[in-house]
Amino acid sequence: MSVLPETIFSQFYADQQQRFELLQHQLRQTFDPFGLGETTLKAQKAWLRHPDKLYQAYTSYANDLLRLQGFTLRRYWGEPDTDVIPPHPDDPRFADPIWCDSPFWDSLKEWYLLNTRWLQNNLYATPDLCEQERSISAFWLRQVLNAMAPTNFLLTNPTALATALESRGVSLVKGLDNFMRDMANSDIAMTDLDAFTVGENLATTEGAVVYRGQLLEVIHYEANTPTVHQVPLVLVSPWINKYYVLDLNPQKSIIKYLVDQGFSVFVTSWKNPDSSMAEVSFDDYLTDGVAQIIDVALEISGSDKVNLLGYCIGGTLITTYLAWANRAAAAGAIKTVPVESATLLTTLTDFERPGDIEVFIDEDGLDFIDTVMEKKGYLDGKEMAASFRLLRSNSLIWNYWAGNYLMGETPMAFDVLYWNMDTTRMPKKMHRSYLRDLYWSNKLVQPDALVLAGQPIDLAQITQPIFMVSAEEDHIAPWKQTFTLADRVSGPVQFTLSTSGHIIGIINPPGPKCKRSFWQGEPVAGQDADAWLQDKTQVAGSWWPNWVEWLRPYSGAQVKPKLSSRKYAKLCTAPGTYVLE
């Protein structure tokens, strides 16, 4: 009988512990969903456990501070500027000569740089922290320090003060107008939003919507040549943004370039989901998205195969489709795999190190995103865009904060930035599985760990030839991480590394104004990214012509073009209706 009270007390304490842990989790979700406080506290404790290193860090800071104070005094006595703490060469915040010419503004700049660099360097050097904790701590500290820059405040921004005086306050009035406009839009304008209209000076390549379903419109483009390749080219765009990044204007449009080269081009224009689509899944994007546009392209063209192209998450989707279709064909679930080749642009399939975005990917962060999506049935694109802008906050947030509000300027008209601000929503069920199964659990590279539309996914099932393009400075899909796919598929791979970043490295048309270059070659089995690059020769210009020459042998004979068919008739002209939602 004596066991009974012990059992009761044991159960009682277990229940209390569970409730306490749940309360902790709820408090973190409310006040600190990404674990900044917990990681910061851990860093502080780590330094206190190493007082010798803490002493060295503070001694170094005191020496630098004395050196800066002495230099500041000499500046007031007439010594020329030599930047004791020079800004980074790529940091435009202190580009105005007054930050060097004036001893006062120069000392303010140098004091800010001294403190920010000391804090960042020493936080990253914190003993006993793992690499992920260092990255998370440094990221959030960087956000605070960037926000506190003197250039972000009127009274500590000499350029803004001078502009206000010269304009007799007009710049401040315009800045207030800009601020009220951006508040209404819940976003900081990065470009002149009045300068662009989709269908008028963006997404203007002639074509027709030939299919409209729950998830997508299919756009087929008018031929610009007397004949086209019989095997159509199907472009699967990312549904995180709208498709017209592939058709910005006639000079930058990869769609127009392909049409001019004699290809029959189809593209996905994804529906912008609302709360009614909360239960749309990743399976649906595979079967009602990729499989559907392939069916449309095959029926109109009369071909039995297509060439696929996927950009960013669209590339992740078509990679998944290829693994799914090859497995389904082997199991007899479908007759054949209707794909001749695939092109993957800045495509992640291995999410072990997915770049800077990993600072948001942990259990608490994912739970927080789930809570946000549960309320609305979707994740608003502006919320996701804000996360990506934080990754480059100085150039993508505070640069526009100072220009729009302190200077009263209208941002320069730039089509890529307009497209970047034209965000879309993510269905709850799809985005939850995308973040948890791919980013968090990295199931896509684990054979048969992920089951989609009834088939276990194994990348080794992919036998189709692949042309991969990644970007050297890409922080969304780091090129060394995208490269790992080459050793996981069974078909031949041609890998291309373009200069620049996630967008400009891809939207990189040939011509005399092209300032980009690329490296190209077939990876050897077992070769890592650095070894692959080591013996490659950099080629000046755009990678587009090389890709087209690679694509032609998989594209079939020349046939007369056909825009639509009886089954898939023309519904309206491009760019259609979904892109305007």
What pLDDT, in 10s, does the model give residues 477-518? 999 999 999 999 999 999 999 999 999 999 999 998 888 999
For residue 209, the cross-strand partners are: 219, 572
CA 221 to chain centre: 27
> What is the chain's mean pLDDT, rounded?
91
- As a whole number of angstroms, the distance between CA 61 and CA 258 comes to 57
Checking if the pLDDT of 355 tops 80, the result is: no
572 counts as catalytic: no
Distance CA 39, CA 24 (A): 15
For tokens 């004036």, the residue is 102
What's the average model confidence in pLDDT over 268-290?
Answer: 97
Predicted pLDDT at 83: 78
Kindly state the helix (H) or strand (E) to which residue 265 belongs, with its residue range.
Answer: strand 265-270
Contacts for 35-43: CB closer than 8 Å, 24+ residues apart? 35/136, 35/362, 35/364, 35/365, 36/136, 36/140, 39/133, 39/136, 39/137, 39/140, 40/137, 40/140, 42/129, 42/133, 43/123, 43/126, 43/129, 43/133, 43/137
- Work out the pLDDT band at 235, boundaries 50, 70, 90: very high
pLDDT exceeds cutoff 80 at 222? yes
Question: Is the pLDDT score of 362 beyond 60?
Answer: yes
Q: Of the ranges 27-36, 142-151, 295-304, which one carries the lowest mean pLDDT score?
A: 27-36
Q: How far is CA 148 from CA 111, 143, 153, in A?
A: 12, 9, 8
Average pLDDT over residues 260-267: 98
Confidence of residue 1 (pLDDT cuts 50, 70, 90): very low
Q: Tell me the C-alpha distance between 283 and 286, whole Å.
A: 5
- Is 152 buried (19+), middle (13-18) or exposed (0-12) by CB count in 10 A? buried
Model confidence at 18: pLDDT above 90: no
Residue type, 390: L
Supply the pTM of this predicted model: 0.89
Write down the pLDDT at residue 122: 87
Which of the pair, 393 or 466, is modelled with greater confidence?
466
Q: How confident is the model over 95-129, as pLDDT tens digits? A: 999 999 999 999 999 999 999 999 988 888 888 88
The pLDDT > 90 percentage for the chain reads 71
Out of 100, 130, 312, 572, the active site residue is 312
pLDDT in tens, 325-347: 999 999 999 999 999 999 999 99
Taken as a whole, the chain contains a residue count of: 581
Is there a contact between 320 and 455 (Cβ–Cβ < 8 Å)? no
The gap between the terminal CA atoms of the chain, to the nearest Å, is 69
Question: Could you give the percent of the chain with pLDDT greater than 70?
Answer: 94
